[in-house]
Amino acid sequence: MIPEIGQFALILALCVAAVQGTVPIYGAASGNASLMAVAKPAARGQFLLVLIAFCCLGYAFAQKDFSVLYVAANANSKLPLHYRLAAIWGAHEGSLLLWTFILTLWMMAVTLFSKHLPEAMRARILGVMGLVSLGFLLFMLTVSNPFERLIPAAPDGRDLNPLLQDPGMVMHPPMLYMGYVGFSVAFAFAIAALLGGNLDAAWARWSRPWTTVAWCFLTVGIALGSGWAYYELGWGGWWFWDPVENASFMPWLAGTALIHSLAVTDKRGGFKVWTVLLAILAFSLSLLGTFLVRSGVLTSVHAFATDPKRGLFILVFLAIVIGGSLLLYAWRAPRVGLGGGFDLVSREAMLLANNVLLVVAMGSVLLGTLYPLFLDALGLGKISVGPPYFDTVFVPLMTPAIFLMGIGPLAQWKKASVPSLAMQLRWAFGASVVTALLLPFVLGKWTPLLSLGLLLALWIVTTAVINVRERLTHLEGAGLLSRLASVPRSYWGMILAHCGIAVFIVGVTMVKGFEVEQDLRMNVGESATIGGYTFQFDGAKDFVGPNYIAARGTFRVTKDGREVTIMYPEKRRYMVQSQTMTEAAIDSGLLRDLYVSLGEPLDAGAWSVRLYHKPFIDWIWGGCLIMALGGVLAITDRRYRLAWRREQEAAPAVSQPVGAPIV
Binding residues for another protein restricted to 531-550, rule: CB under 8 A: 536-539
Q: Is 478 helix (H, G, I), strand (E, B) or coil?
A: coil
Provide the pairing of β-strand 527-530 with 516-522.
unpaired
Per-residue mark of binding to another protein, 280-299 (x: CB under 8 A):
-------------------x
The rounded distance, in Å, linking the Cα atoms of 125 and 119 is 10
Q: Are 192 and 125 in contact (CB under 8 A)?
A: yes
The rounded distance, in Å, linking the Cα atoms of 4 and 287 is 28
Q: Give the nearer residue to another protein in terms of CB position, either 55 or 353.
A: 353
Exposure on the CB side of residue 360, measured as CA atoms within 13 A: 15
Return the residue of 305, 312, 383, 475 that touches another protein, per CB under 8 A.
Answer: 383
Q: What is the footprint of another protein within residues 37-96 (CB under 8 A)? A: none
The rounded distance, in Å, linking the Cα atoms of 658 and 660 is 7
Report long-range pairs for 652-658 (Cβ below 8 Å, ≥24 apart).
653/198, 653/200, 653/201, 653/202, 654/200, 654/201, 654/202, 654/269, 655/200, 655/201, 655/268, 655/269, 655/339, 655/340, 656/200, 656/269, 657/269, 657/272, 657/337, 657/338, 657/339, 657/340, 658/337
Is residue 449 a contact residue for another protein (CB under 8 A)? Answer: no
Minimum CB–partner distance for residue 341 and another protein (Å): 4
Minimum CB–partner distance for residue 108 and another protein (Å): 23
Q: Give the nearer residue to another protein in terms of CB position, either 371 or 441.
A: 371
Q: What is the footprint of another protein within residues 214-233 (CB under 8 A)? A: 233
Is residue 522 a contact residue for another protein (CB under 8 A)? Answer: yes
Q: Give the nearer residue to another protein in terms of CB position, either 380 or 478.
A: 380
Q: What is the footprint of another protein within residues 149-208 (CB under 8 A)? A: 201
Q: Give the nearer residue to another protein in terms of CB position, either 94 or 269.
A: 269
Minimum CB–partner distance for residue 400 and another protein (Å): 10
Q: What is the footprint of another protein within residues 565-594 (CB under 8 A)? A: 582
Q: Give the nearer residue to another protein in terms of CB position, either 148 or 600.
A: 600
The rounded distance, in Å, linking the Cα atoms of 567 and 540 is 11
Using CB under 8 A, count the residues that bind another protein: 82
Q: What is the footprint of another protein within residues 611-650 (CB under 8 A)? A: 638-639, 641-643, 645, 648
Query: In this chain, which stretch among 17-25, 313-321, 432-440, 653-661 interacts with another protein, using CB under 8 A?
Result: 653-661
Q: Is 543 helix (H, G, I), strand (E, B) or coil?
A: strand
Q: Give the nearer residue to another protein in terms of CB position, either 72 or 257.
A: 257
Return the residue of 26, 59, 235, 317 that touches another protein, per CB under 8 A.
Answer: 235
Return the residue of 473, 478, 519, 542 that touches another protein, per CB under 8 A.
Answer: 519
Strand partners, 557: 535, 565
Between the CA atoms of 653, 40, 275 and 280, what dihedral angle is there, to the nearest 10 degrees? -150
Q: What is the footprint of another protein within residues 255-274 (CB under 8 A)? A: 268-269
- Nearest CA-CA partner of 219 in 639, 641, 499, 627: 627
Q: What is the footprint of another protein within residues 452-511 (CB under 8 A)? A: none
Amino acid identity for residue 264 in this structure: V
Strand partners, 556: 536, 566
Q: Give the nearer residue to another protein in terms of CB position, either 233 or 466.
A: 233
Per-residue mark of binding to another protein, 589-608 (x: CB under 8 A):
----------x---xxx--x
Exposure on the CB side of residue 117, measured as CA atoms within 13 A: 26
Query: In this chain, which stretch among 239-247, 446-454, 471-479, 620-628 interacts with another protein, using CB under 8 A?
Result: 239-247
User: Before 167, cis peptide (omega within 30)?
Assistant: no
Q: Give the nearer residue to another protein in terms of CB position, either 22 or 527.
A: 527
Q: What is the footprint of another protein within residues 317-376 (CB under 8 A)? A: 338-344, 349, 352-353, 356-357, 359-361, 363-364, 367-368, 371, 375
- How many other CB atoms are found less than 10 A from the CB of residue 511? 22
Return the residue of 239, 389, 491, 568 that touches another protein, per CB under 8 A.
Answer: 389
Between the CA atoms of 545, 550, 551 and 552, what dihedral angle is there, to the nearest 10 degrees? -40
Amino acid identity for residue 550 in this structure: A
Q: Give the nearer residue to another protein in terms of CB position, either 31 or 334.
A: 334
Q: Give the nearer residue to another protein in terms of CB position, either 151 or 643.
A: 643
List helix spans (H) across 408-565. 418-443, 448-473, 480-486, 489-514
List helix spans (H) across 528-570. none
E strands present in 32-162: none
Q: Is 49 helix (H, G, I), strand (E, B) or coil?
A: helix
Q: Give the nearer residue to another protein in terms of CB position, either 41 or 661.
A: 661
Minimum CB–partner distance for residue 152 and another protein (Å): 33
Q: Give the nearer residue to another protein in terms of CB position, either 34 or 299.
A: 299
The rounded distance, in Å, linking the Cα atoms of 136 and 100 is 7
Minimum CB–partner distance for residue 242 and another protein (Å): 5
Is residue 527 a contact residue for another protein (CB under 8 A)? Answer: yes
H-run or E-run covering 475: none
Minimum CB–partner distance for residue 345 and another protein (Å): 10
Return the residue of 130, 146, 234, 631 that touches another protein, per CB under 8 A.
Answer: 234
Return the residue of 279, 450, 505, 520 that touches another protein, per CB under 8 A.
Answer: 520
Q: Give the nearer residue to another protein in terms of CB position, either 1 or 560.
A: 560
